[in-house]
Amino acid sequence: MDDLTLATDALRQNLDELETINTWLGGYQPVLNALDRLKSRFPQGQALRLADLGSGGGDTLRHVARWARSNRVPVTLTGIDANRFMLDYAAAKSREYPEISYQQFDIFSPEFQAQPYDVLTCSLFCHHFEDDELVTLLRQWQQQAQVAVVINDLHRHWLAYHSIKWLTRLLGGSYLVRHDAPLSVARAFRRQDWVALLARAGIRRYELRWRWAFRWQVIIAGQG
């Protein structure tokens, strides 16, 4: 999944499998719960500008779009990814959501850093970076977001590791999901990791919560 040139049927299957696993395990709730908590701070009289970083198959954005519709929140949703195949695949699956668009960006580039948003979200994205890279990104994201940065990522725990290995085999998952899912848990975070990373980034205004199933919800106050 870290190979930005990957464009195969196996990757397409992997994206679908991740959507199924996230649906079963409540993997979208850390983001949707955060939006519920932040709703009173959304801009009035204009659409909420929300970007999902590392948007993959676009499944998180489709859940956000349904949340926005049910809560009557006008939104402009943007999926950001470096992999063109993923962007095209996500766009094809999001045809019923005109409020969603997709853009290819290097998130370290000045072009992306100049993009303003109200809310930045990322799900199962942060564990792909080294600590120094992530500290830089956390600072950058806080500067870009007027309302908040919402992070949804995995809890590094032995039970989560062995459970996801068992679940992906039970589902008869593809090689990619059977390989990447346990690896993602192994590369993920404990509470003290987030506390240390946020301190290094100079971020003091944040909320950190554990959510089922083995997820961390991090809400960082934006610049607005």
* pLDDT tens digits along 17-74: 888 888 888 899 999 999 999 999 999 999 999 999 999 999 999 999 999 999 999 9
pLDDT given at position 178:
61
Region at 49 (left for phi over 0; alpha for psi -120 to 50; beta for the rest): beta
pTM: 0.90
Domains of the chain and CATH, by start: 9-221 (3.40.50.150)
| DSSP per-residue letters across 111-141 | HHHT--EEEEEEES-GGGS-HHHHHHHHHHH
List, for residues 104-142, the tens digit of each pLDDT value: 999 999 999 999 999 999 999 999 999 999 999 999 999
Which of residues 215 and 213 earns the better pLDDT score?
215
Evaluate if residue 160 carries a pLDDT over 70.
Answer: no
pLDDT in the model for residue 161: 67
Are 149 and 139 in contact by the 8 Å Cβ rule? The answer is: no
